[in-house]
A and B are shown apart, each in its own frame.
Chain A
Amino acid sequence: MTRLALEEVTFWYPATRAPALREVSLEVAAGEIVALVGKVGAGASTLLLVAADLAPRVTGGRLAGAVRRRARSGIVLPTPWTQLSGMAFTVWDEVAFGPANLGWPGHEIARHVDHALERLEIVSLAARDPITLSGGELQRVIVAGLLAMDPDLVLLDEPTAELDPAGARSMWRLLRLLAGEGKAIVVATSELDAVPDVADRVVWLEAGAVRAIGTPQLLAEDAACDDGLGTTVARIWRAAGLAPPYPLTVADAVQRWP
């Protein structure tokens, strides 16, 4: 079931003349993880804002084309520290803020909040004041707040930027779990090495337009490597002068190695 469909979407921010997205078409189905990759400024963040109905509604600017959403969506911005409600004095209340706004009964809110805190491994932070958290602790709290609302469409912009390496791994595992529960997930990330094990499809954005859509195998192709979008293993294989197709991951490399 399609959760999100963009049809030939072009989007202009108010302050700039060139469009930030150019005729982007993309469908995302329930249970699917789509990774957005590209250089800084290629349009991944803007695409997420459009998908979340924040652009142009909140950002201003102008949109051409059509966006269809058959889902309740939630987004984690690349600046999670700007997403605190400012209304909560404990992490628990912060995570409960979204569900409370949905008008759910108290026991439903509590169930979702407790589950989200467990999933992000931050139960021990429940009584803390959110403004005193470390960067990674806060990023987990913001993701927990999103999950507590149980959205069908999960939109994430660099969700591992502030996480320690072990935490980043847990985050990627959690996304697979959520997809397994039927959520549609779109994630922009510069952590290319994580993409092969996480994403079903990869969208390569360049100057606001879709340059290619495919399986993660895309990140082992010469064109992606040339643009700095190859995985580390693919780049090393290629730099060593070994023949394509290049392995994507360490596990692929081991299989390929005599």
Chain B
Amino acid sequence: MAVSATLRLDGVGFSYGAEAALRDVSFEVAAGERVALLGRNGAGKTTLVRLVAGLLHPDAGTVWVGGWDTGERAPEELARRVGSLFQHADQQLFARTVREDVGFGPRALGFPVHEVRRRTEEALDALALHAHAEQHPYDLPPALRKLAALAGALALEPMVLVLDEPTGGLDRGLRAHVADALREHAERGAALLVVTHDLAFAAETLDRGIVLDGGRLACDEPLAPLLGSAERLKPLGLVPPTVAALSVALDLSGRPVRERDAAHALARVAGGGPGL
């Protein structure tokens, strides 16, 4: 079978016992694409993340990473290609320091010491974690523990990054670091699939939106216009983020969904000078 996409789901279904959590889900994510995976609570997002990471295997269909069928690989082997962040990842750190934890993945993959060090330091830098590198993960607040787990996923420099709620509880500065780091990994060719309820973060960082509803694929399209449409989002349990709502309310040209674009549009109308 010809597999061009980095990540590809083909008619994927999964049930926990009698209840179907995912039904006939198909989509592809190419190298360098930045995709938001959205949907109401219970829509099936985390289930899909677990399937891509190989922690669960589909009951129907196939999840492909590169040419690998994830159902036939152990999670340890998949870690060569998939970096994942789980929703409650703050509980998954086990090393004595943040630095050791971030380096765990590359070390386990057998990279030489200098390469492990480069990846670890780059990931710590990218997420502004250097100040905490020597701290015990459990002496950090949960939001920073999760950030450390994200650094561990980035340090794998994988072909697919699948992240479940990477920004919960983060302040604006840290969210911007996460956004920059994700953009950079996508530029280097990673396929990004990011589960988030933070639609402002999604708007700033990602550009395609896949929405699940009741375990089915409800939309797969460019993110910006979708985020501007309150009527389309409502039945999916979603609400336009503030920038999109402002654009609509003030009828800003181009209906921007990113802060900087909205400030420019506003400045043009008001005749002021944008300061962003």
Contacts of A163 in B (CB 8 A): 41, 197
Q: Does B272 contact A (CB under 8 A)?
A: yes
Stretch at the interface among A25-33, A86-94, A108-116, A230-238: A230-238
Q: Does B107 contact A (CB under 8 A)?
A: no
Known: A228-B173, A232-B200, A241-B274. A134 touches B266 (CB 8 A): no
Known: A135-B41, A240-B267, A242-B266. A250 touches B170 (CB 8 A): no
Known: A240-B274, A253-B249. A167 touches B171 (CB 8 A): no
Q: Does A254 contact B (CB under 8 A)?
A: yes
Q: Does B73 contact A (CB under 8 A)?
A: no
Known: A162-B197, A241-B274. A40 touches B168 (CB 8 A): no
Contacts of A161 in B (CB 8 A): 165, 168-169
In contact, A239 and B259 (Cβ under 8 angstroms): yes
Closest A residue by C-beta to B250 = A257
Q: Does A70 contact B (CB under 8 A)?
A: no
Interface positions, chain B 227-276, Cβ under 8 Å from A, are 233-234, 237-239, 241-243, 245-246, 249-250, 259-260, 262-264, 266-267, 270, 272-276
Contacts of A162 in B (CB 8 A): 41, 87, 165, 168, 197
Q: Does B114 contact A (CB under 8 A)?
A: no
Q: How large is the interface on B (under 10, 10 to 19, 20 to 34, 35 or more residues)?
A: 35 or more
| Cα-based distance from A241 to B39 in the complex (angstroms) | 36
Q: Does A136 contact B (CB under 8 A)?
A: yes
| Cα-based distance from A174 to B152 in the complex (angstroms) | 37
In contact, A240 and B264 (Cβ under 8 angstroms): yes
Contact pick for B242, options A164, A229, A250, CB 8 Å: A250
In contact, B171 and A254 (Cβ under 8 angstroms): no
Known: A239-B259, A240-B272. A233 touches B143 (CB 8 A): no
Contacts of A45 in B (CB 8 A): 141
| Cα-based distance from A41 to B197 in the complex (angstroms) | 22
In contact, B39 and A164 (Cβ under 8 angstroms): yes
Nearest-Cβ distance from residue A232 to partner chain B, whole angstroms: 4
Interface positions, chain B 191-248, Cβ under 8 Å from A, are 197, 199-200, 233-234, 237-239, 241-243, 245-246
In contact, A239 and B199 (Cβ under 8 angstroms): no
In contact, B262 and A40 (Cβ under 8 angstroms): no
The winner among B41, B237, B267 for most chain A CB atoms within 10 A is: B41
Known: A40-B141, A165-B197. A253 touches B171 (CB 8 A): no
Nearest-Cβ distance from residue A233 to partner chain B, whole angstroms: 6
| Cα-based distance from A254 to B171 in the complex (angstroms) | 27
In contact, B272 and A165 (Cβ under 8 angstroms): no
In contact, A39 and B171 (Cβ under 8 angstroms): yes
Contacts of B90 in A (CB 8 A): 79
Number of interface residues of A (CB under 8 A): 48
Q: Does A68 contact B (CB under 8 A)?
A: no
In contact, A134 and B46 (Cβ under 8 angstroms): yes
In contact, B197 and A235 (Cβ under 8 angstroms): no
| Cα-based distance from A165 to B245 in the complex (angstroms) | 13
Contacts of B40 in A (CB 8 A): 136, 164, 166-167
In contact, B270 and A136 (Cβ under 8 angstroms): no
In contact, A250 and B87 (Cβ under 8 angstroms): no
| Cα-based distance from A125 to B242 in the complex (angstroms) | 31
Closest B residue by C-beta to A168 = B197
Known: A39-B173, A239-B276, A242-B270. A164 touches B237 (CB 8 A): yes
| Cα-based distance from A253 to B245 in the complex (angstroms) | 11
Q: Does A101 contact B (CB under 8 A)?
A: no
Interface flags for A152-164 (1: CB within 8 Å of B; 0: not) read 0000001001111
Q: Does A211 contact B (CB under 8 A)?
A: no
Nearest-Cβ distance from residue A124 to partner chain B, whole angstroms: 10
Contacts of B88 in A (CB 8 A): 79, 81, 135
Q: Does A23 contact B (CB under 8 A)?
A: no
In contact, B275 and A238 (Cβ under 8 angstroms): yes
Contacts of B276 in A (CB 8 A): 239
Q: Does B144 contact A (CB under 8 A)?
A: yes
Contacts of A164 in B (CB 8 A): 39-41, 43, 197, 237-238
Nearest-Cβ distance from residue A236 to partner chain B, whole angstroms: 5
Q: Does B142 contact A (CB under 8 A)?
A: yes
In contact, B250 and A254 (Cβ under 8 angstroms): yes
The 3 closest A-B CB pairs, nearest first, are: A136-B41, A241-B272, A228-B172
* 17 additional A-B residue pairs with CB within 8 Å, beyond A39-B173, A239-B263, A253-B249: A13-B139, A39-B171, A40-B171, A78-B142, A78-B143, A134-B42, A135-B41, A163-B41, A164-B43, A164-B237, A167-B41, A190-B169, A232-B246, A238-B275, A239-B275, A240-B275, A257-B250
Instruction: Write 22 A-B pairs (CB below 8 A) sorted by A numbering.
Output: A13-B139, A41-B141, A81-B88, A136-B41, A158-B168, A162-B168, A164-B41, A164-B237, A165-B197, A165-B233, A167-B41, A169-B239, A190-B171, A193-B242, A231-B242, A232-B243, A233-B246, A241-B270, A241-B274, A250-B242, A253-B249, A254-B250
